[in-house]
């Protein structure tokens, strides 16, 4: 499985939108990607929780997405709906950090060892 994680620090304001409105628009864009891009197995938006991360200089939100294969990830990455959503997110963010990696299925490995 391929996991793609993107962390965003949002601008306080963009084209008359405040941070809450920007976040709402990003959540809408993620929901649209979920519906439009069939290669996405799972996608979610995780937001900064002030009471949990108050001691850290935390980012505002994270988008986490899972894909069955590299090909599925590439399909998503180059899809026009993702390109539009990513373009908006880049415009409204003061910083963006991403990591994409292949996960290891430890349960399957343990099962194979037992056999």
Q: Please say whether the beta carbons of 88 and 25 come within 8 A.
A: yes
Give the mean pLDDT per block of 10 residues along the chain (115 residues).
95 94 95 98 84 58 95 98 98 96 77 66
For Cα atoms 24, 87, 25, give the angle at the middle one, nearest 5 degrees: 10
Pairing mode of beta strands 13-14, 2-10: unpaired
pLDDT at 105: 72
The residue among 35, 31, 58, 66 whose CA lies nearest residue 45 is 31
Q: Are 50 and 59 in contact (CB under 8 A)?
A: no
pTM given for the model: 0.82
pLDDT of residue 66: 97
Round to the nearest angstrom and report the end-to-end CA distance of the chain. Answer: 23
Position 51 scores a pLDDT of 54
Assign a CATH topology to domain 2-114. Alpha-Beta Plaits (3.30.70)
How is the chain split into domains, by residue range? 2-114
Distances (CA, A) of 81 to 97, 106, 110: 20, 33, 38
């Amino acid at each position: 499985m391929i996991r793609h994680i993107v962390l965003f620090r949002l601008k306080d304001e963009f084209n008359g939108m405040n941070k809450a409105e920007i976040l709402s628009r990003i959540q809408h864009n993620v929901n649209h990607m979920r519906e439009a891009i069939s290669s996405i197995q799972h996608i979610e938006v995780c937001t900064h929780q002030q009471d949990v991360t108050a001691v850290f200089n935390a980012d505002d939100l994270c988008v986490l997405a899972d894909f069955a294969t590299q090909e599925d990830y590439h399909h998503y990455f180059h899809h026009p709906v993702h390109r539009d959503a990513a373009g908006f997110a880049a415009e409204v963010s003061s910083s963006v950090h991403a990591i994409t990696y292949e996960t290891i299925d430890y349960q399957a490995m343990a099962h194979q060892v037992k056999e």
